[in-house]
Amino acid sequence: MSETYYIGLGKNDSNLRKKADSDFASFWNEQAKKLTWFSPWHQTLEWKYPFAKWFVGGKINASYNALDVHQKTRANKPAILWEGENRESRIITYGEMFTQVQKLSNVLKSLGVQKGDRVTIYLPMIPELPIAMLACARIGAIHTVVFSGFSSTSIRDRIMDSKSKIIITADGGYRRGNVVKLKEVIDDAIKDCDFIQHVIVVERAKNAITMNSTDKLWSDLMKDVPDSCYAERLDSTHPLYILYTSGTTGKPKGVLHGTGGYLTHLHSTFKWAFDIKDSDIFFCTADIGWVTGHSYVVYAPLLHGATQVIYEGAPDYPDASRMWSILQKHHVTIFYTTPTALRMFMKFGDDIPNSFDLSSLRLLGTVGEPINPEVWKWYFKTIGKEKCPIIDTWWQTETGGMIISPLPGLETIRLKPGSGTRPIPGVDVAVVDDIGNIVPPNTKGYLVIKNPWPGMLLTLWNDDAKYSSVYWSKYKNFYYSGDYALKDDDGYFWLLGRADDVLKVAGHRIGTAELESCIVSHKDVAEAAACGIPDDVKGEVIIAFVVLKHGIIKDVNILENEIVDKIRSNIGAIATPKQIYFVSKLPKTRSGKIMRRLLKSIGNNEQIGDVTTLEDGTAVTEVKAAFDEIQKSIRDKSK
């Protein structure tokens, strides 16, 4: 039995859970009233399986709820305490954000952006990024933020899919002291996209850029524009954003989120999980390019009028103390980060955090990957000094907000290192077997969500059929998360990693199919298979197996470099495999499907299990030998 930690801040309102259990829709109906609506809804939930509409008929605006509602009481309160990687800093108050957002909304309107139009945003972690998102939301344009580490091909795919007329980018962004030339990446990405009307460029790094006929400087556009722009009264189900995420198919999926339900989910979970107070200084280290940044950097903190730190750069730049120095400088009270970051900090040793005053901290959180109990305990002792609850929050791009998490703002909880504890009220989660039967306690199965919830995706952009088949076809009436989990005797959930072909490398979602199709596009490659193997910092790292076309004789180092270059330019550096291994065949089923389960088992040093369905048993031996060799070389390197 694992150790337990009893910690509570909440008042244990068991009534609330009871209400949620007895009627989840009317429970969410109550929560939604905490937001500001232009007009009320006439139906809380319209559930036409598998499409949910929340708060039907209600009119709302995300930007209004993030900014306008705070102007009377918090105009001078900092919304963002921004730390540049190069130690520049900026403080942006709620009043200033309000002005900037309205101005940019007017700019977008003057450039012809209308309700429902898509705007692609490719910016580093600078205040202009949330400003751009809120400016879109204000006029009902759908923002689609692309993580600034993605390559031009990835951006092109996303722009082609969303058909954005406008791009907002920067000249460059800082990463580990270098300038990443973002504008150049965009220039390359949109070469053949003739539907793009304008590119707005923020001058961040002041690197030289080429201004094309479509390009306009943010600073020029913002000069003489009126600073007031009304917030559109949008349907609750109006799309707020598209966020592309990797799945099991070759192309990323455009997860589409709505407004009223999504904001209700965020408003509630931010209060329950972080117990947010007006005096808090919140710091979430996620990049806004991923869902955690959308939900818990941009929308949730602003809905609550919270003050938060946003940091531009790498967590260990210029040295391993950077994070703790930011925490100390801003007296951060709530810190939300990833297990990967924590594993890295832990490796640097205790002396570094111990030399900073972290006494302002009162609550800690993690997200994005399973957290190993020993890292959890380190976080608890070394960072939280045994006085801060740790909330291990499980959720996904598709769920919009937290689904499983301790909720210290709501109830007293007993924490178990490595468990996300229980689902939030109003969401029914279960662990089931292959055919949808609930499995007994302590049995590994698939995590499903049994009812619609307010933060859930509306659909996949332009692809209702794929939405239905990816999430709602494995089980009748259950949402399939793609994760393994088990529920223990206390009803606590333990998340056990992905059950599908999605990898989590340093918390980033990478689809093996996407990676493989990129590798196979190399002219000398016949077949490729990618899988994850455990890594003590990044959670998992990618290993790729490559079968060359018949008769190719080439230096493998050259080939490896060419493949890596291809991956970097087609997807981005985050998808670079740790090792590429050239083999003569891949283990396959009789019907010709690559047996990833097998690759994964070998990579994880597990028993290989039943291989009778393999087409050719010798490939297993070959792949096993490949892994042994790779593992040996990893061991040798780390010595």
Report, in Å, the least distance between residue 276 CB and ligand WTA: 19
Report, in Å, the least distance between residue 370 CB and ligand WTA: 4
Is residue 265 part of the contact set for ligand WTA (CB under 6 A)?
no
Name the residue nearer to ligand WTA (CB basis): 107 or 310.
310
Is residue 483 part of the contact set for ligand WTA (CB under 6 A)?
yes
Name the residue nearer to ligand WTA (CB basis): 187 or 540.
540
CA distance 199 to 241: 19
Axis crossing angle, helix 260-274 with helix 24-32, rounded to the nearest 10:
90
Selected from 105, 382, 397, 421, the binder of ligand WTA by CB under 6 A is: 397
Residues with Cβ within 8 Å of residue 391, at least 6 apart in sequence: 273, 274, 363, 364, 365, 366, 405, 406, 407, 408
Selected from 274, 311, 394, 453, the binder of ligand WTA by CB under 6 A is: 394
Name the residue nearer to ligand WTA (CB basis): 98 or 446.
446
Report, in Å, the least distance between residue 376 CB and ligand WTA: 11
Report, in Å, the least distance between residue 507 CB and ligand WTA: 7
Burial 443-472 (b: 16+ CB within 10 A, else e): eebbbbbbbbbbbbbbbbbebeebbeebbb
Name the residue nearer to ligand WTA (CB basis): 393 or 579.
393
Q: How far is the CA of 70 from the CAs of 38, 133, 228, in angstroms?
A: 16, 18, 16
Name the residue nearer to ligand WTA (CB basis): 128 or 369.
369
Q: Which residue has the tokens 């520049």?
A: 88
Q: What is the largest CA-CA distance in the chain?
A: 73
Is residue 287 part of the contact set for ligand WTA (CB under 6 A)?
no
Report, in Å, the least distance between residue 339 CB and ligand WTA: 8
Segment interacting with ligand WTA (CB under 6 A) among 7-15, 181-189, 219-227, 389-397: 389-397
What is the three-class DSSP state of 358? coil
CB atoms under 10 Å from CB of 386, counted, come to 10
Segment interacting with ligand WTA (CB under 6 A) among 375-383, 429-437, 477-485, 525-533: 477-485
Name the residue nearer to ligand WTA (CB basis): 121 or 231.
121
Selected from 509, 522, 596, 600, the binder of ligand WTA by CB under 6 A is: 509
Selected from 105, 151, 307, 396, the binder of ligand WTA by CB under 6 A is: 396
Q: How far is the CA of 195 from the CAs of 154, 165, 190, 221, 310, in angstroms?
A: 17, 6, 9, 21, 33
Q: Please, are residues 300 and 269 in contact by the beta-carbon 8 Å criterion?
A: yes
CA distance 223 to 606: 62
Is residue 395 part of the contact set for ligand WTA (CB under 6 A)?
yes
Report, in Å, the least distance between residue 382 CB and ligand WTA: 20
Site for ligand WTA in 11-70 (CB under 6 A): none
Give me the DSSP letters along 85-125.
TTS-EEEEEHHHHHHHHHHHHHHHHHTT--TT-EEEEE--S
Is residue 501 part of the contact set for ligand WTA (CB under 6 A)?
no
Name the residue nearer to ligand WTA (CB basis): 200 or 367.
367
Segment interacting with ligand WTA (CB under 6 A) among 476-484, 565-573, 579-587, 605-613: 476-484
CA distance 65 to 61: 6
Burial 350-359 (b: 16+ CB within 10 A, else e): eebbeebebe
Selected from 162, 236, 237, 245, the binder of ligand WTA by CB under 6 A is: 245
Axis crossing angle, helix 14-22 with helix 24-32, rounded to the nearest 10:
120
CA distance 541 to 92: 38
List residues bridging with 543 in a β-sheet: 531, 579
Report, in Å, the least distance between residue 175 CB and ligand WTA: 20
What is the three-class DSSP state of 139? helix
Site for ligand WTA in 313-372 (CB under 6 A): 367-370
What is the contact surface with ligand WTA in residues (CB under 6 A)? 245, 290-292, 367-370, 392-397, 420, 481-483, 495, 498, 504, 509
